[in-house]
Structure 1
Amino acid sequence: MSCCPPGSLPKLVATHKAKGDESTLPGTDLPVYVVGSGEKVVIHYYDIWGWNGGRTRFLCDTLADQGYKVVIPDFYRGQAWDDSPIEPGPVGKFVSQFPPDSIVKDTQAVIDHFKSGGAKTFGATGCCWGAWAIFACCASKLPISAAVSYHPALGLAAVFGSSPVELTSKVTTPQCLLPAGNDPADVKPGGEVVKTLEDNKVPVESKDYPDVQHGYMPRGDLSDPKVVEACEDAEKRTYSFFEKYL
């Protein structure tokens, strides 16, 4: 019931000068970061370090450069994991504050708002906890057309009495899974999550990066060529996947 497997990368302090703007979604108490423009909106679901941890906003700014409007809702309402060790008990207690129905409600509010402003289609990207949140939203049949998850932590489904396979069995949205070497086998090519999507005729692509650790996308050391290679390949796969399905 932890989000990060042993050997995962630690917290990274954000240093990127963000290009977008923060505001509160009209009619709600939900803070949002918005960058880019266009009729295709990508909602980003962050890791447990919150909406401005590590390279989260850099990743969203970079994706916006591809022609998307990218939105980071602050599902945690200002909270984030601190410097405490990543252990199942404390992590489970922390994420239990943000149950599936609250994530679905916030996501629906984002979709409704931007649809009223002219958005036509919605996609999703997520890291770690964010991948579980994406699957929860897709399982609830929200109008998300495609989703990409980096080092997904679907094991968090256990916090809410489910399992990765049970949660996945309710998903019909095309998924791209890009796990790290120390991530669970079920989200890697040939794993149970991937097989469940395939058995249900859901478009799925999966590529694992055995030479990098969980957290590589927003927190990996960019002085390490292997991390750079993984991040660049994951970005290319994200763009390609959205070109197909978004």
Structure 2
Amino acid sequence: KESRRSISDSMSEPLLPDCCTPTAHGRAAPAQGALLGGFKTIGDPAFESYIVFPPSGTPVLGVMFLAHDIFGLRSGRHVQICDELAQAGYIAACPDLFGDGVSRATELNPTWPPKSLSNILNILCCCKLGRMFAAMKIPWGVLESKLAATALYLQAEHHRRSPSASQLEGCVVGFCWGAMVVARLLGASMESLPIPIQCGVAFHPSLRIDEANRELIANVARPMLLAPAGDDPKHLQPGGEFAAALEAKFAKPTCVPFPNMVHGWMPRGPLSEESIKRDYDLGMSLLCSFFEERLSDAQN
């Protein structure tokens, strides 16, 4: 099959998301503190996207598109991650792919942490079979249009700020459910978004081992890095089916595990815990270095 086909043409059925492991970090309240960027209303139909540019005078290295986790744009550290990336020289954007970023934080969450059997069953019900599963049947075309509108906005604003700037290049990073977005974008043609996506990173990816996801991984056409937590399934770990398929495709390591972390540590793990802060920082460094290497490869 053609791996560089349009996402809209190849994947038009509703998206049925995977979700978190029972031992994962739960929904985190929005991180506190001043923001470097802002929530912009863009697109038609309109949706919200958090957008931040590097500080004035900082060279722009590229664009980071964030695909948020199952709990949505406004929970956890999604916007703070964007701010950190902007400080490192990247334009960063996290669109509200579900369209209910505010309400999702209070309406679609299981009880965490899982301290009892009934609690674990509640998590499984909410994440796999219940409200979340039903709420997430969003056609890919809806998500693709939001990503494209976000890219157009970034492109126009970047040109306004730097009229003589060269073409922007992009990387997509997904958390949990967002791993699906990473894989689909990397399986589409470079022209599927106004800003070409060169590579992607999936932290604690929620990708079940089934035929649909096997096809998704098989269609990945540009470098994709998996960064699984210790409680993520074996097929996402080094040597596992999905990790091995990507490594065979790109002839280089495509899986960096974080065995001491649990699913969700990047946007939701408490940074007050030394080990989580350590591996969060390592994750951010991994993301930036992976993108920089891919940009260098593309230019050579």
Conserved? CA contact 1:165–1:196, under 8 Å: no
Match of 1:147 in 2: 200
Normalised to the residue count of structure 1, the TM-score between the two structures is 0.89
Give the counterpart letter for 1:135 in structure 2. A
Are 2:238 and 1:189 aligned?
Answer: yes
Residue matched to 1:86: 123
Instruction: Kindly report the root-mean-square deviation, in angstroms, between the aligned alpha carbons of the 2 structures.
Output: 2.1
Return the structure number with greater helix share. Answer: 2
Q: Which runs of 5+ in 2 are unaligned?
A: 1-16, 55-59, 111-121, 160-166, 296-300
Match of residue 19 from structure 1 = 36
> Secondary structure at 1:86's aligned position in 2?
helix
Distance verdict in 2 for CA 1:39–1:226, change over 3 Å: closer
Whole-angstrom CA distance in 2 between matches of 1:19 and 1:195: 39
Residue matched to 2:84: 62
TM-score, with structure 2 as normaliser: 0.74
Unaligned regions of 5+ residues in structure 1, if any? none
Q: How far does residue 116 in structure 1 lie from its aligned partner after superposition?
A: 4.2
Question: What CA distance in whole angstroms lies between the structure 2 residues aligned with 1:20 and 1:74?
Answer: 15
SS in 2 for 1:217: helix
Using the TM superposition, give the Cα deviation of residue 92 of structure 1 relative to its aligned residue in structure 2, in angstroms: 2.5
The CA deviation at 1:203 is: 5.5
Aligned equivalents of 1:46 and 1:3: distance in 2? 12
The structure that has the greater radius of gyration is 2
For these two proteins, the number of residue pairs brought into alignment is 241
Q: Which residue of 1 aligns with 2:276?
A: 227
Report if the CA contact (8 A) 1:104-1:140 is conserved.
no
Q: Percent identity?
A: 27
SS of equivalent to 1:172? coil
Following the alignment from structure 1 to structure 2, what is the Cα–Cα distance between the partners of residues 8 and 108?
Answer: 31
State the Cα distance separating 1:238 from its structure 2 match.
1.0
- Check conservation: 1:172, 1:202, Cα contact below 8 A: no
Give the secondary structure class of the aligned counterpart of 1:193: helix
Q: Look up the match of 2:171.
A: 123
2:140 to 95, 100, 109: 100
Letter of the aligned partner of 1:78 in structure 2?
A: D
Query: 1:200: Cα distance to partner?
Result: 2.4
Instruction: Assess if the C-alpha contact under 8 Å between 1:173 and 1:203 holds in 2.
Output: no
* Moved >4 Å (runs of 4+): none
- Residue 115 of structure 1 aligns to a residue whose secondary structure is helix
> Where does residue 46 of structure 1 map in the other structure?
68
